Amino acid sequence: MTVKRFLICSENDTSWGQNSSSLRFGHFNPAKPYAPQIVTGTFAVPFDLDDSFWISARIAKRANNQWKKNYFVLNRFPVGFCSTARSNIPDCFAKLFKPKSMTGHCSIPKGAYNLDHESIHWCLANYPTMPYGSYLMSLTGQQLVNGVAGNTFQLCTEFDMTPQP
């Protein structure tokens, strides 16, 4: 998997919108298909994130010069945002947020997180291999505290799946 860029999902998204777009991603090298991707930049988290946020993902696939919406739909993961990210993209989570532990209570404090030429292997630990092609993922989350809606966010990213030899 090779991430191309983070995008602004909608003009109404003021929480994360412009803040997450300062990451730069290295290009895929077909001569080195197993090499991790190099990521540089800053990722800003506008509020504390923990497992009180539910998340869902909608993935569109690029085909016939247009996005085929809802190619994959992943609704309401059984655990919250923080634990889901930690268990599904462990290499990225460990290098970006530098947690004290990869087990136990999961929390991401508000702030800016820097990556300086970090090599990240984008393995989706709990998912089967996706068909190769171009994809656009929209990740939506909302905080629920005692049944009351709180902070919301939406992150979009464009990525490619390439066949491995």
Query: In the CATH hierarchy, which fold is given to the domain comprising 2-161?
Result: Ganglioside M2 Activator Protein; Chain: A, (2.70.220)
Q: pTM of this prediction?
A: 0.84
Q: Does the pLDDT at position 37 exceed 70?
A: yes
pLDDT of amino acid 14: 54
Residue 113 · residue 42 · CB < 8 Å? yes
- Bridge partners for 26 per DSSP: none
pLDDT band at 117 (very low <50, low <70, confident <90, very high): very high
pLDDT of amino acid 39: 92
pLDDT of amino acid 40: 93
Query: What is the 8-class DSSP label of residue 12?
Result: T
pLDDT of amino acid 51: 86
Which of residues 37 and 103 earns the better pLDDT score? 37
Query: pLDDT per residue over 64-88, tens digit each?
Result: 999 999 999 988 787 888 888 888 8
Residue 88 · residue 126 · CB < 8 Å? yes
Give the range among 1-5, 26-30, 99-103 with minimum mean pLDDT: 99-103
Mean pLDDT of the chain: 84
Q: Does the pLDDT at position 136 exceed 70?
A: yes
pLDDT of amino acid 15: 55
Domain ranges of the chain: 2-161
Residue 15 · residue 46 · CB < 8 Å? yes
Of 146, 148, 142, nearest to 49 by C-alpha is 142
Query: pLDDT per residue over 93-116, tens digit each?
Result: 888 888 766 777 888 888 888 989
